Amino acid sequence: MSKRFAVILAAGKGTRMKSKLYKVLHPVCGKPMIRHVVDTVKNADFSKVYVVVGHGAEQVEATVGTDAECLTQREQLGTGHAVLQAAGRLSEQEGTTVVLCGDTPLITYQTIERLMQVQEKHHAAAAVLTAHLEDPTGYGRIVRDRSGHVAKIVEDKDANSDEKRVKEINTGIYSFDNRKLFALLKQVTNHNAQGEYYLPDVIGLLVQKSEKVIAYATEHFEETVGVNDRMQLAAAGKYMQDRINRAVMQNGVTLIDPSTTYLSADCVIGGDTVVYPGAVIEGNTRIGNGCRIGAHSYIRDCIIGNSVQIDQSVLEGVTIGNDVQIGPFAHIRPLSKVHGRVNAGHSVDAGNMDIGERGGTER
């Protein structure tokens, strides 16, 4: 199999977020957007992953960690210019390069894999992930030739009246023949309404050279939506929460009311556990089998054993053994440990304590 590479664009500041926090660091279900994308890419078959950083570079790099190599785009001159930052690493490599956006936390590795497979199967120079929208306003349009291949991509601000009526849109996710991508990137100009170097212009250059460019239309447009403001952030969070809740229920967890249950992207819950309405489970919490998490409980970064009952309590950074009952109205703080078969009952307030042999009530 040829080599596969991923380039994730994460240099933008995100002014529409109106925040001191850089856009790709805003959390969705408890995890920064860029971390969602990097973790998704880790599940796909890539030889190397690069993240292009700019605004907030140090913070983004810290969030990415060792799971990708970060490349700095010192001036934000457009998506084409951003991808060009990887030229020193990739321009001489054979293989496939997928370009993704760091503000699309909902993209799945299955969709990325299908895009690459379609491009490689058809021996195309590029494949564009597209979608069909009834209202495509704001999105680049896919213009096809008579054979159904992609002829060009026109940005919304540059589209004429006929092109604006096209309902197939560019999601901003691509799979390229690596050598052909970097051979043409330096030919992209900024003669457009934004004065930027657009990555989609590479598509037009490929077509001019009679290269095959195809489109893969996803049926899951919501996966590809970028987050640019707080409303889109909330929408992405709701979609992600629905996905997380469905996954845990399929794995044998009962959520009495999924619409009022908040689970972080990284929490793990064992089978036959029941979670009641209003519960919030955050961070890297691990919950065992056969537990009961009562209504309006708040649990963060805890390790919880099997057959544990928690009633309307707050637990933060706690380790809990098996067959434990906690609450109602308990508050157990970080670094505490609750041994097995203990009842930490009504209104207990404990921090950095070892509850069991020396405290609490043995059941």
Over residues 107-164, the pLDDT tens digits come to 999 999 999 999 999 999 999 999 999 999 999 999 999 889 999 999 898 899 999 9
Mean pLDDT of 285-312: 98
20 shares its domain with 116: yes
Q: Provide the 10 A C-beta neighbour count for residue 246.
A: 12
265 shares its domain with 193: no
Domain count, the chain: 2
- Residue where one domain finishes, among candidates 204, 224, 244: 224
Mean pLDDT value across the chain: 94
Distance (Å, whole) CA 39 – CA 322:
31
142 shares its domain with 264: no
The answer to whether residue 241 is domain-embedded is no
194 shares its domain with 284: no
Judge whether 89 counts as a catalytic residue. Answer: no
24 shares its domain with 136: yes
The answer to whether residue 234 is domain-embedded is no
Distance (Å, whole) CA 49 – CA 41:
8
108 shares its domain with 170: yes
358, 338 Cβ separation under 8 angstroms: no
* CATH number, residue 333: 2.160.10.10
What does the buried/exposed string (b/e) look like for 159-195 if buried means 16 or more CB atoms within 10 Å of the residue's CB? Answer: beeebeebebbbbbbbbbbbbbbbbbbeebeeeeeee
8 shares its domain with 76: yes
- Residue where one domain finishes, among candidates 224, 243, 261: 224
CA neighbours closer than 13 Å in the CB half-sphere of residue 294: 14
- Residue where one domain finishes, among candidates 208, 224, 240: 224
Residue 220, pLDDT above cutoff 50: yes
The answer to whether residue 125 is domain-embedded is yes
CA 3, 91, 54 angle in degrees (round to 5)? 100
Enter the tokens of residue 181.
Answer: 């991508």
The answer to whether residue 245 is domain-embedded is no
For 294, the domain range is 253-362
Considering the candidates 16, 165, 230, 363, report the single residue annotated as catalytic.
16
The answer to whether residue 239 is domain-embedded is no
Which tens digits make up the pLDDT trace of 8-38? 999 998 999 999 999 999 999 999 999 999 9
The answer to whether residue 271 is domain-embedded is yes
182 shares its domain with 292: no
Band (pLDDT 50/70/90 cuts) for residue 345 is confident
349 shares its domain with 271: yes
The answer to whether residue 83 is domain-embedded is yes
The answer to whether residue 247 is domain-embedded is no
207 shares its domain with 299: no
